[in-house]
Structure 1
């Protein structure tokens, strides 16, 4: 079984600092805490975990500070000797190949708790490496605690009982009663561990203890009654959250390859001789400089894993650092302009003071015309004592003719960001010819991450300078405008240089595979400026409407909480899986129909749905969760995301995110707004057209089923689409032997489940569950389906065979999806790869089709931008904003171009709606 180790970094650093003597290295730098943490890390890694995270507290307040202003108020500031060891600790952790996690607004404990339960639910063996007693509340099958500094292990409820005198599920109440002096949480006066354990043994939980307070005698009874008002808050403060929204899941935390030379340099500097001995000695200074840890990668692709095409052999001439120049004079600027004019192509990059391209201020521009060289032109470094720089207007005026020349080839890495920044500073980039992120993504979407650092390491064997090397980390990280120009110059020029080198390495690989090069040249690269325009256009938001919706959702959440309390017969935390388990399965006696991989009763959505017919409470909890998610993700958040300069919300689209080629979006994520519920549809009402304009939404109808008909060439499916009949009704007629007009609603529903289920690799077991029928009947449905649509079955088998033989499947347009688990020993992983082999050609083809449609529609819109603009892409839908009197013209043109984006054996049908808001238009 794969292992996940979650290291409580904040706790270990403090404990090591106070436990070990004040050691220092030869230079007088403090090393005591660092020494303790490094030994702990080495011990952890000797156990060979598969996934690891080093979790530390983020700077700033957390939700607990909002609950209780005095939370941790008596903690002294971090001692200077300890603060000096934080950065070296982070450097060593990174060099060991371990991810460091900091999540604002919550504590490290909550991040660990969320990952621990998610990992256990995903079948991982989870170890929490900590010395903090609070984590005992998380112990359960699949989750154990190990104090790596002392060797103690808490791996069961019995172990928790032996150590604390209470069960693991009583630890929260145990801590609430005792309080926590370190965190300034006052407990019951005179209530120590023995008293807390005694009360919980007698009354089971905090609610029971509180209910018995009136009858308690003596001073301790008085103390308990005096503490009653604050005990519910105590319980909330000491409860480790397990529902934190995280960008990384447990399986995203795979232990990376160590940067050995960096470790040698760091261990040598701090005098860790035993650790050095394990590595084989101290690196030479030059080698250590070459081995800086590489973590840059903002706004890049997120795919991980896989082998795919082998990386090219690194050219030894390109293995060293480049020759870079910082341009500070008119003369050198003119010289570089002349070099750019003489070059057949050049790479460019921008440096800014923020990650949001719609708000970032330009700090400098970097350029490269040949491998190994580069220039940085600073224009916005404003720290005290910064040298004089050329004015931004002068630099942009000099570069504008080159950047705006459509006939001059420009290269970038995730260049959409730079296109945005330059546009906002008065330069419209044209001739953007190649993007190394997209070259890598098209070559193999799953072979590696597609950020510059990962690509440089994989394809060039080169370790880049990371942003943290020049700007610092965490609370001490500075804006790039504050970075010294010498350091900034090397870092920024390297970006342009490495982009050029990567293009020279990746372009031949694409050229060797004409089908992939065609996907890159005809779909992905033309889409870059289209997405940039859509993002820049943005969408108008009715913030007042969203505030009304938030108020309504809050009121209904409160009502749901009150109803749940009444149904349970007591108050409990609806967000706590542990408390839900106790109420639903222990107290109400409902059956645990869905279990976690470790056999515990699950409280996820599927589990609650399974018992919703047996008691009203599960349905109330599901309602509460749905309302809470809508409020936190959309109605509360969207008004905060309105750009103050444009008055609109601007999402970011990611081309190199989903392996199948589907676009994803973030900040905000518009792909996940629910459309099957009234509350979800209400959110779309807040996406509005400005005065004098309307919104138009154009959505492909059943596109993946149509692609299935085309790829399988099944006569029955093709006939249904050609005749324009309801395909689910037609399928029901075929499967159940009915006339179209005689098909019942339940039969159509079953046929729809079969159509979509089989397309996504659903088994008979899954179909039975979906339809609420027994497995034998579901198997009969599947057999009937394949007897009527035999070509569909043949297509599915062809895809499985192709995946096994080639290691990949393809879309209609030649995009490949490599299936790394198709030969996995694990049956579940192999089955998942086979399901992907069936679905990926359809989902990927649908992605390619809508991208082609976007490029075509945008090309036509070039002559009508004052009258209409494309503002959103969501799944198979495009949304436009247009003048009222231009809607009919727009509709005819968009429908024609979307329908003509591919030639299939069945027609592509586009459903269109128009309205004052997105809900009306959808």
Structure 2
């Protein structure tokens, strides 16, 4: 049967742009997205389809914009780096002989949909090459046996039947439109039913069949989600119309006319040479790669000699050693002889990568299922320890394997590397191995090289740096209700997945470390700050912190009483009952009945009832303030007082948070499960939560907090003489600023003047302008502007620093911390004024936040080394913003209070002194 390939060009261009690194040719022209699309096209052409087309969106509005003016209204403009690659992409597609189709007034999806349905009806098998889930509505099988299938060349996924669509989305292909209508689409700015996600949409459609069925039965659906559905009913028919792909367009080309034309070899040679596509050039000139599809590409993952050969990676055009993108040879270790051979290889290797497979995402409770190891790129093994799939082969005893590996893993002289190895450190510690010699971490290498990218996981890094499509976790364990534990995975599949993890980690290290070594400042941040911190954070997490569960239960009861009181007060103010948790009901009450001004709008233009919106009108009516109070109490109860007791580890009796080094681009640590950074400290209720973090009998909690560290860093970076002098004198910096700005002696500064100076001091660091300062202080904008002008007249060094930093950011595209951490500013040259202004604000603030993060990390490493020799008399428990919290024997307190603040103050040498405030108590609030 003939085959038609329809390529969603717009989808692949954007996906390749975001998936691949920002590559460029010798002339500095961007090529990353272009490279991804060209590789995908070459892959399709190797399959020699009878018909093919490259479909892209035409410029201008479509019929959907007429139906819904806000359609795609929140999409940002195409980045300049991507726009520069559109023209060469089209030139290459044309030179390859692939027909290009763009129809005005409709989207590429509609063109593809029409050609796909026509092709299948004419007995042509259709493959739609896309990464767009909306296209799943096209999957079908015609009576003549021809079908429409979706193929995602970037992920390797394929949907070729109703069963495949049902397995992926939980609905049939003919229900996809209704499914999308219920969920909405934030990318296209289509509002769905609030809080209706994939599972809820699939559940409703399974029960009621169609969107019309859901609408007809909306009254039967209870709870808040039922209310949300009923409120959304008027817009659901429009949603369905917007998400339906047209399949009946009158097009100029019929499927059977989309033949591949003769390629323009000379044009391709010029284009490939210009953009540095060397492998494509070789194929163009008759290289072996063009003769036929390689055996490994036909059968990815063919077992060989008891081991496993990974799928071949796409040819990489990035100057990477081909060995780093070649298939891997993986072995499943099941015999003592295999284990002995691998131990010998590990002893002989200068370094090796390792990874653990477990039965839990919580490292404090995870049990080992297996270990993978790699000694050189392309060579790796998996040692299963606890697989229990039916018919699974006998595995080596865990104790035997760990005994063989312990000397290597515990040897500080043997270099080990991993990807997010802190997790593995916990797992090994739980199994009696104190990992030493952890020398490199690919997640942190990526983070230091470019903290601005969204993802530093191994799968994303493999695609970005190696052009390598990894096996995904869900590929081997399944999804949703059918997902199994890794211990139930068959050994061949487990080896394919787990050994690849260790192999790709080693390959990534071989690519990224030279890039760090080429940047001495970045290498120093990596070697001297981030890597030494890994075992420190692992120890802090393992230490955990005791909580008083009874106190938290008392607080939950009190919060519930106050929430009820707030509900009653809100009902009284409204003059009727209403659901405080319903944005729809609240919006109608505030803006329709009470006629309060809608000062903040949602992306669709409707009045917003979010926190910002309520704050903006809280001075005009008491009800918004009551709603804010109710929401704050509800959040504290659900996030902390109800949840924290459930998070106590039964083995340790403590709560163990997880710290994330590769989260904030500034280098600041974040935490989760629980998130310690977000406990409010300005409210009485938030401070009460801290009273539930307690010390055991005979010990105390000690809090050590950097005082005004970012302002001190501002003084250091700006070298402003007046600001430096104020800190050197030990004066109250806000009072000193007020004295300078208002021209008064210190003793005559009023509390309001000090408050204004404090707002200016902190506001300028975060890019606050006259409007923001005026709103914060409750003064006229002109008066706020006068304050700022006065400030800069008294602190000209700060003004010069800010202007100098903006200019450096524009020139370099990044700013740096005192220690050399690089903070990229992607939008510093944006044509969008708001994006550009945001990047300029970040340019000012990032060096201060980033330097503060570097300083406290350096202090943590130093203090951890000192604590190691104190016999457990004190433990480091938490890091929260600029604060470190310790637990110590009462008799050890004088030593701790002398040593820790001195080490924190000595973590950096600035032009002004670093000052550390300390406190001691039976609980965290008392110590703060």
Q: TM-score, normalised by structure 1?
A: 0.72
CA contact (8 A) 2:194 2:225 kept: no
Contact 2:703/2:924, CA 8 A, preserved across alignment:
yes
Give me the whole-angstrom Cα distance separating, in 2, the residues matched to 1:753 and 1:686.
Answer: 32
Deviation, structure 1 residue 864: 1.5
Q: Which of the residues 144, 167, 174 maps onto 1:87? A: 167
Equivalent of residue 407 in structure 1, options 386, 407, 413: 413
Aligned to 2:360: 354
Contact 1:675 1:681 in 2 (8 A): yes
The equivalences for 1:853-864 within 5 A come to 853-864=859-870
Are residues 1:916 and 2:926 paired?
Answer: no
> Quick one: which of 379, 387, 407 aligns to 2:385?
379
Shift of the 805–42 alpha-carbon distance from structure 1 to 2, 3 Å rule, reads farther
The question of 1:680 aligning with 2:686 is answered: yes
Does structure 1 retain, via aligned residues, the 8 Å contact 2:719–2:797? Answer: yes
Deviation at 1:461, TM superposition (A): 1.2
- For the residues of structure 2 that align with 1:184 and 1:610, how far apart are their CA atoms? 35
Task: Say if 1:110 and 1:240, in contact at 8 Å, map to a contact too.
Answer: no
What CA distance in whole angstroms lies between the structure 2 residues aligned with 1:355 and 1:278? Answer: 49
User: Do structure 1's residue 473 and structure 2's residue 479 form an aligned pair?
Assistant: yes
Q: CA deviation at 1:86?
A: 2.4
The alignment status of 1:321 with 2:327, answered yes or no, reads yes
Distance, in Å, in 1 between the alignment partners of 2:456 and 2:554 is 41
Q: 1: CA distance between counterparts of 2:163 and 2:172?
A: 15
Deviation for aligned residue 1:237:
7.2
Report what 1:270 is aligned to: none
CA distance in 1: counterparts of 2:726 and 2:523, whole angstroms: 35
User: Equivalent residue for 1:801?
Assistant: 807
CA contact (8 A) 1:448 1:455 kept: no
Of 654, 672, 679, the residue aligned with 2:660 is 654
Q: CA deviation at 1:454?
A: 0.9
> SS in structure 2 opposite 1:369?
strand
Distance 1:320 1:91 in 2: 38
Q: CA deviation at 1:595?
A: 3.8
Aligned to 1:733: 739
Verify the 8 A CA contact 1:349 1:412 in the aligned structure 2: yes
Partner of 2:425: 419
- The 2-side partners of 1:649 and 1:897 are apart by 27
Cα 1:865/1:414, change in 2 over 3 Å: farther
1:696–1:879 Cα contact (<8 Å) kept = yes
Secondary structure of 1:557's counterpart equals helix
Q: Is the 8 A contact 2:358 2:369 kept in 1?
A: yes
**Which residue, 259, 262, 287 being the options, matches 2:297?**
287
Q: 1:804 to 1:683 in 2, by over 3 A?
A: same
Is 484-493 or 421-430 further displaced after alignment?
484-493
**Which residue does the alignment assign to 1:826?**
832
Conserved in 2, the CA contact under 8 Å of 1:540 and 1:647? yes
Partner in structure 1 of residue 152 of structure 2: none
Please point out which of 671, 677, 695 is paired with 1:689. 695
Aligned: 1:483 with 2:489: yes
Structure 1 residues 311 and 565, CA gap change in structure 2 (3 angstroms): farther
What's 1:185 paired with? 220
Runs of 4+ in 1 over 6 A off after TM superposition: 34-37, 90-93, 107-111, 134-138, 230-234, 273-280, 282-285
Establish whether residue 126 from structure 1 lines up as the match of residue 126 from structure 2: no
Q: Is contact 2:231-2:584 (8 Å) kept?
A: no
- The separation in 2 between residues aligned to 1:532 and 1:311, in whole angstroms, is 38
Is residue 3–residue 127 contact of structure 1 (8 Å, CA) maintained in 2? no
Q: Measured at CA, do residues 769 and 4 of structure 1 come closer, stay the same or move farther in structure 2, by a change above 3 Å?
A: closer
- Contact kept, 8 Å, 1:470 with 1:488, in 2: the verdict is yes
C-alpha separation in 2, matches of 1:605 and 1:91: 36
1:539 and 1:871 in contact (8 A); partners too: yes
Q: In structure 2, what is the equivalent of residue 499 of structure 1?
A: 505
> Displacement, 1:92?
13
Verify: 1:783 aligned to 2:783, yes or no. no
After superposition, the C-alpha distances for 1:645-689 in whole angstroms (9 at most, x for unaligned) are 111111100000100100001111110000000000011011111
For residues 348 and 135 of structure 1, what CA distance do their matches in structure 2 show? 43
Contact 1:759 1:838 in 2 (8 A): yes
- Tell me, in whole angstroms, the C-alpha distance in 1 between the residues paired with 2:533 and 2:690: 26
CA distance in 1, matches of 2:167, 2:832: 40
- Alignment length, in residue pairs? 717
Distance 1:427 1:137 in 2: 45
Any residues of structure 2 matched to 1:543-554 within 5 Å, and which? 543-554=549-560
Q: CA contact under 8 A between 1:311 and 1:459: conserved in structure 2?
A: no
Distance in 2, matches of 1:428 and 1:137, equals: 45
Q: 1:277 to 1:515 in 2, by over 3 A?
A: farther
Q: Aligned equivalents of 1:599 and 1:350: distance in 2?
A: 49
* Residue 614 (structure 2) pairs with residue 579 (structure 1): no
Contact kept? 2:219, 2:230, Cα under 8 Å: no
Whole-Å separation in 2 of the counterparts to 1:829 and 1:4: 13
Deviation at 1:588, TM superposition (A): 1.3
**Separation of aligned partners in 2, 1:561 and 1:109:** 35
TM-score normalized by the length of structure 2: 0.72
Task: Give the CA deviation at 1:829.
Answer: 0.2
Seen in structure 2, the aligned counterparts of structure 1 residues 327 and 836 have a Cα distance that, compared at 3 Å, is: same
Q: Provide the secondary structure at the position in 1 that maps to 2:891.
A: helix
Contact map agreement 1:314 1:461 (CA 8 A) in 2: no
User: Which residue in 1 is equivalent to 2:252?
Assistant: none
CA offset at residue 361 of structure 1? 0.8
Output aligned runs, 1:200-349, within 5 Å.
235=227, 238=230, 286-287=296-297, 312-349=318-355
Q: Which residue of structure 1 lines up, in the alignment, with residue 399 of structure 2?
A: 393
Shift of the alpha carbon at 1:794? 0.4
Partner-residue secondary structure (3-state), 1:387:
coil
Distance in 2, matches of 1:789 and 1:740, equals 17
- Structure 1 gap ranges (5+): 6-15, 44-80, 94-99, 101-106, 139-144, 150-162, 165-174, 187-229, 242-272, 293-309
Correspondence for 1:541 among 532, 538, 547: 547
CA–CA separation in structure 1 for the residues paired with 2:225 and 2:499: 53
Residue 645 of structure 2 corresponds to 639
1:140-173 CA-to-partner distances (Å, cap 9, x unmatched) read xxxxx9xxx9xxxxxxxxxxxxx99xxxxxxxxx
Gaps of 5+ in 2: 1-70, 76-112, 141-160, 206-210, 234-254, 264-291, 303-315
CA displacement at 1:319 relative to structure 2? 2.3
Aligned to 2:244: none
- 1:731-770 mapped onto 2 (5 Å cutoff): 731-770=737-776
SS in 2 for 1:911: strand
Q: Check if 1:866 corresponds to 2:900.
A: no
1:364 alignment partner, SS class: strand
Q: CA deviation at 1:276?
A: 12
Q: Distance in 1 between matches of 2:357 and 2:663?
A: 23
The 8 Å contact of residues 345 and 410 in structure 1, kept in 2 or not, is answered as: yes
Specify whether residues 435 and 912 from structure 1 end up closer, same or farther in structure 2 by C-alpha distance, changes over 3 A only.
same
Partner of 2:630: 624
Q: 2:374 aligns with which of 351, 368, 375?
A: 368
CA distances 1:309-355 after superposition (whole Å, capped 9, x unpaired) = x9942322332320011111111111111111111111111011111
Compute the displacement of 1:598 (Å).
Answer: 5.2
Matched, 1:894 2:904: no
After superposition, the C-alpha distances for 1:383-429 in whole angstroms (9 at most, x for unaligned) are 23211101111101100000000111101110000000000000000
Residues 552-595 of structure 1 deviation map (CA, whole Å, 9 limit, x = unaligned):
11111111111111110111121222222211121112233334
How many angstroms apart in 1 are the aligned matches of 2:258 and 2:402?
50
Q: Please state how far the C-alpha of 1:616 moved relative to its aligned partner.
A: 1.3
**Structure 1 position 460, deviation (Å):** 1.0
Please tell me the root mean square deviation across aligned C-alpha atoms, in Å. 3.9
Contact map agreement 1:561 1:574 (CA 8 A) in 2: yes
SS at match of 1:517: helix
In structure 2, C-alpha distance between the alignment counterparts of 1:86 and 1:467, rounded to whole Å: 20
Is the Cα contact below 8 Å between 1:706 and 1:721 reproduced in 2? Answer: yes
